[in-house]
Amino acid sequence: MTDAILRVTGLHKSFGDHHVLKGIDFSVAAAERVAIIGGSGSGKSTFLRCLNFMELPSLGTVALDGREIGRPAGGDGARYYPEAELCAVRERVGMVFQQFNLFPHMTVLDNVMEGLVTVKGMKRAAARERAAAELEKVGLGAKFDAYPGRLSGGQQQRVAIARALAMEPEILLFDEPTSSLDPELVGEVLRVIRQLADEGRTMLLVTHELGFAYHFATKVIFLADGVFHEVGTPDEVLKQPRQERTRAFLARYTEFGF
Amino acid sequence: MDYQFEFALVLRSLPVLLRGLVVTIQLWVPSILLGLAGGFLLALARLSDRAWLRLPGLLYIELFRDTPVLIQLIWFFYALPILIGAELSPFAAALLGLALNTSAYAAEIFRGGIQSIGKGQWEGARALGMRRGQILRRVILPQVFKRMLPAFTNRAIEVAKMSSLASVLSVHELMYQGRLLSSTYYRPLEILTTVAFIYFVLIYPGTWLSARIEKSLAAKA
Ligand SMILES: Nc1ncnc2c1ncn2[C@@H]1O[C@H](COP(=O)(O)OP(=O)(O)O)[C@@H](O)[C@H]1O
Ligand SMILES: [Mg+2]
């Protein structure tokens, strides 16, 4: 594939002597939507976080538009990543966290404006306009002046999505965006994500909402033992998994089905 | 007990003591300001992911916190000039000692404050493409400043009292004048009580303010 926006080659990540990711090759093309599933502690977050360098890869490269990020340092495949370059990557690869990570001392509007003003250097008036538009889009037009602490989890997560969207990233990473929400609030967040899918955005989503993954994704990845155990269309991976390991994992979700 | 407390002596000593108070303030305020500025930089060094910044920062902070202030002041007056080959005036030595000592304590307050902010805030900001300095300035420090205020007030109070140690270097501050007067008149009770009272008037507004701030912060939480 030559039209990959983002390409990962030979990615390894270790924390001390804990080898979490063991050689991953992967690429995303524009408008692809990738759902990543796998057991707890299997490295899903770590993989996602290597894509916007919240974690630095131990080995291997991440390339945006064919250009490898960072530069070789020493002969053993290690790389040096200057802060400025990583900040530029993160402007293009946005991220939404399980815990929202909003700034509690700023209003909802200021949360969304922050990146526009400090990172993109926008004038406050223009930033306010853009932030307001993003908040309207996620259905929070009435909450501009509220502080995050006053919002429900679902609302906070929608602010976090608006904050990421405002930066106009080319790729959006979602790390279990609904896992810390009460069940009745999951829907409002998933609806926003589906709306982004309808707009043709490029997204990667780590999730345990297999039903949503099935409808949302163009590609599903089952991550286990630090490698992509099974990759395919939602039908292939979620309905007709070829690997025993994948079947066992999925079986746990249907155990208490009714 | 038929001790005659001589108020007249108190009144007569007041002009000299107030001159001492001025010098005390001249030591106090700059040590606090320099200590805060230095402490902030030290805290950054202490929190750096680079060992060549972190370890010297740690050594500096522990040296100043784990040795007597009196020795530090005397050292800056008698020992440092030998090392750098230049005289320091007693006032300069005392100011230097107090400011550096304060910076070590302030660094620990800043560090505690910065570390009290959950790492999620850093993550959220980093994911937007903000740089470390921007995150500190825009996200972290605005939140910790309020929390650190009581600790800084306490430190300011300590420094006011600590400045009395400068009297051993013959800096003409409040304590020095008090000791001089009490040995001149052989009336330590009157003079030192007055000196203590002046310190109290100088410091009490600080403790009062600190308590108020703590209370209002607790009410908001
Ligand atoms: N910063 C870190 N330091 C040390 N170990 C980590 C760190 N982040 C993750 N790990 C470890 O890496 C493994 C994968 O973690 P993670 O990617 O969070 O898994 P998942 O998101 O699939 O639940 C876990 O064993 C976890 O303890
Ligand atoms: Mg995770």
What tens digit of pLDDT does each residue of B48-75 get?
Answer: 989 999 999 999 999 999 999 999 999 9
Chain A CB contacts of B123 under 8 Å are: 54, 97, 101
Using a cut of 0.90, tell me whether the model's pTM lies above it: no
Domains in chain B and their CATH numbers?
A: 7-220 (1.10.3720.10)
Q: Which residue has the tokens 């599933």?
A: A37
Give the Å distance between the CA of A50 and the centre of ligand 1.
12
Atom of ligand 1 nearest to the CA of A46: 17
Homologous superfamily of A4-250: P-loop containing nucleotide triphosphate hydrolases (3.40.50.300)
Looking at residue A1, its pLDDT comes to 47
In short, whether A44's Cβ falls inside 6 Å of ligand 1 is yes
DSSP string for A33-73: EEEEE--TTSSHHHHHHHHTTSS--SEEEEEETTEESSEE-
Phi-psi region of A226 (alpha: psi -120 to 50; beta: other; left: phi over 0): left
pLDDT in tens, A124-174: 999 999 999 999 999 999 999 999 999 999 999 999 999 999 999 999 999
In the predicted model, what is the mean pLDDT of residues B36-43? 96
Quote the CA–CA distance of B216 and B26 in Å, as a whole number: 31
Q: What is the sign, positive or negative, of the torsion defined by CA atoms of B71, B73, B78, B83?
A: positive
Inter-residue contact A33 to A197 (CB < 8 Å):
yes
In short, whether A46's Cβ falls inside 6 Å of ligand 1 is yes
- Supply the ipTM of this predicted assembly: 0.93
Which one-letter amino acid corresponds to residue A94?
G
Is the pLDDT reported for residue B111 higher than 90? yes
Chain B CB contacts of A94 under 8 Å are: 127-128
Closest Cα to atom 26 of ligand 1: A41
Torsion angle of the four alpha carbons A223, A226, A231, A235, in this order, in degrees rounded to the nearest 10: -20
Q: Are A118 and B138 an interchain contact pair (Cβ–Cβ within 8 Å)?
A: yes
In short, whether A37's Cβ falls inside 6 Å of ligand 1 is no
Which one-letter amino acid corresponds to residue B176?
Y
Residue ranges per structural domain of chain A: 4-250
Which one-letter amino acid corresponds to residue A224?
A
Cα angle A231, A258, A219 (rounded to 5 degrees) comes to: 15
Q: Chain A interface residues facing chain B, Cβ-Cβ under 8 Å?
A: 52, 54, 83-84, 87-91, 94-95, 97, 99-105, 114-115, 118-119, 160, 163-164, 167
| Mean pLDDT for chain B overall | 92
Looking at residue B202, its pLDDT comes to 95
